[in-house]
Amino acid sequence: MNIQGRNYIGYTLSSEGQKTFRSYVPAQDEYLPETFHCATPDETDRAMKLAEKAFDQYAAVPASKRADFLIAITEEIMACGEELLERAHLETGLPLPRLKNERARTIIQLTQFADLIREGAWIDARIDTALPDRSPAPKPDLRKMLVPIGPVIVFGSSNFPFAYSVAGVDTGPALAAGNPVIVKAHAAHPGVSDLTAQAIIKAAKRTGMPDGVFSMLYDDGFEVGAALTKHPASKAVGFTGSYKGGMALYRMAQEREEPIPVYAEMGSVNPIVVLPEYLKDNAVQLGKTLAASVTLGAGQFCTNPGLVFVTNSDGLDTFENEYKSEVEAVAPATMLTAGICKAFYKLKEEAQTQENVTELAVSKISSDLKNQSEATILRVTGQAFIANPKLHEEIFGPFSLLVVCNDSEELLEVISHLKGQLTASLMATEKEARNYPEIVKQLAKISGRFIMNGVPTGVEVCASMHHGGPFPSASIAQFTSVGRDSILRFVRPQSFQDWPDALLPQELQNANPLGIHRLVNDEFTIDKIQ
C-alpha cells in the first residue's frame, strides 16, 4: 500500500518525528508493518505558521475555485479505489459495505459544500444604503456578510474513518468557507488518514491552492492536539468524541489569551420513549427495530439509542421477548480498538452490578475474532433509574438500558432527569402525542433532533439536519456538525460602513457581479450585471 507514515505539513512530508506508533488490526489483535511518526513541537508550530500565512491568500480565492478544490478532493479520494476501503476495514473492523457507504457520504458532503459556495447565498449578504437626508440623523451605508475566521483545527474521530475524519464534516465546511485546516489524525486508523491526506494534498496542487491550506499531523496521545488548540494562530476547533476529551479541549481553548470556539460533539444516550398505545399495537416490530438500531455497527454510533423508556402496560411482555430474541441472535462484531472494547466491557459490567438492574439479553461472541462486543440489554425500574445517575451515562457500544415505568406520570418524572441529547425519539400514535403534551415538551427541550416513530441511527446529510444538541451532547447547542449550516461554525459576520463600492467585496458591491441572493434595503434581490 502507498502509505507514507509521516506528517503532512503543507504540500510536503515533514521530517520524521522521534516518537512512533503502528497501525492496529482489531479483528486479529495484531499490528501492520508501517510506522507512523508523532509530530514534534517544531512540526506542529510549522504547520500552524504555514496555515496562518496561507489564510489571507486562501480567503481571497474565489468561491468557484474553492469549489473546484472540494470536487478535486472527491475525485482524488475515489481514485484511491479499493485500497482505501480495504485499509479502513483492516484498521477499524467495520464491514466493507458500511465503509463504502460512508465513503459515498463523504463525497456527498464535499459536493454539497461545493454547490453551496458556488451558489453564494450562504454568506447572508445584506445591504442598507445610505440616507444622508434622514432626520434626525443621517443613515450611513452599511453592508454585511459572513467571512472566514482563520486556521481551523480538526480532530479525526475513531468511529467514522471517512465522514468524521480527515476529509469529513469539519474539514469540508472549513475549507469551503475559506479557512486553512490542520487535522490531528486519529491513531485508530492512521493508514486511512494517510491515504486521505495524500488525496487532499494532490487536489490542492491540482487546483493551485496555497501551500499550508491543509496539513495533517499524527499523535497517539494528547500532546499534539493540546499544542494545536493552544497555538495562537488557531481560530476554531472541530471535535467528535468523548465528553472527557471534548471538555478538555474546551477548557484549553477558554484559557488561551484569545479564547476560541470548540465545536465538540460529545456523549449522548439518545432516549427513546414508547407510549402505551404504540407499544400495544407495535410490540413485535418495535423489538426488531430497536435491536437492529442498538447493535448497528457494534453500537459505535453517536446516535446509538442507549435508553428506552416504556410503561408497564399491554404489549410489554411481547416486546421484551422479541427484543431479547433479536439481540441474542445478533452476529458477533469487532469493536474499533482494543481500548474501546475494554472500556465497553468495564462500563457494561459496572452497569450490570448496579442495584435493581437485571439482564434482559446478551448476544454471544465468536472465538474466531478478537475485540468483539457482547450486545447487551439491561432492565431497570423508573424509580431505580432516577435514584442512580450512573445509569444515565453513555456506554459506547452495543448497549441499551430498558427503563420500565409504572405509568405516564412516572415516565414524565424519569425523563425530566435527562440532560441534553443529540436526539430524542417518541414512539406514539398521533392521538397519544396530543394527549401527553408535557412528555413531548420535555423531550423537545433536551434534544437537537426530535424523531417521531423512528430510531436515531442514520443522520441524513441535508439542509434541515441538526446534528448537535443541548449540553453535554455538544459544547455549543446552536450549531450543527452535519448539513449546510455546519459551515456557520467557521465564519463570522463583518460589516462595512461607508466604503467606496469598488473597494467592497464583490458580494457586497452594487452591481452584484456574482449574481447571489442579497437582502437590499429589506428586499431580496438577485440582479446581475446586464
- d(C-alpha 220, C-alpha 431), whole Å: 53
| DSSP-assigned states of every residue in 82-112 | HHHHHHHHHHH---HHHHHHHHHHHHHHHHH
- Of 191, 192, 239, 233, the closest CA to residue 212 belongs to 233
- d(C-alpha 152, C-alpha 214), whole Å: 10
- d(C-alpha 339, C-alpha 396), whole Å: 11
| 462 in catalytic set | no
Contact status, residue 179 vs residue 151, Cβ threshold 8 Å: yes
Backbone phi and psi for residue 381, each to the nearest 5 degrees, phi listed first? -80, 165
| DSSP-assigned states of every residue in 137-154 | SPBPPEEEEEEE-S-EEE
Place of cell 478532493: 73
**Contacts by 26-31, CB closer than 8 A, 24 or more apart:** 26/91, 26/92, 26/93, 26/334, 26/335, 26/336, 26/337, 26/338, 26/341, 26/370, 26/371, 27/93, 27/334, 27/369, 27/370, 27/371, 28/369, 28/370, 29/338, 29/370, 29/371
- d(C-alpha 6, C-alpha 454), whole Å: 44
- 393, three cell numbers: 451515562
Which among 38, 302, 341, 405 is annotated as catalytic? Answer: 302
Q: What angle do CA 226, 421, 346 make, to 5 degrees?
A: 65
Contact status, residue 254 vs residue 419, Cβ threshold 8 Å: no
Contact status, residue 31 vs residue 91, Cβ threshold 8 Å: no
| 302 in catalytic set | yes
User: Exposed (0-12), middle (13-18) or buried (19+): which is 209, by Cβ within 10 Å?
Assistant: buried
Q: Residue 54 CA to chain centroid, in angstroms?
A: 26
Cross-strand partners of 226: none
Return the H-helix or E-strand segment holding 442: helix 437-446
Which among 76, 265, 410, 507 is annotated as catalytic? Answer: 265
Cis, bond preceding 136 (omega within 30 deg of 0): yes
- d(C-alpha 266, C-alpha 158), whole Å: 13
- d(C-alpha 390, C-alpha 354), whole Å: 8
Backbone phi and psi for residue 229, each to the nearest 5 degrees, phi listed first? -65, -35
Give me the active site residues, please: 265, 302
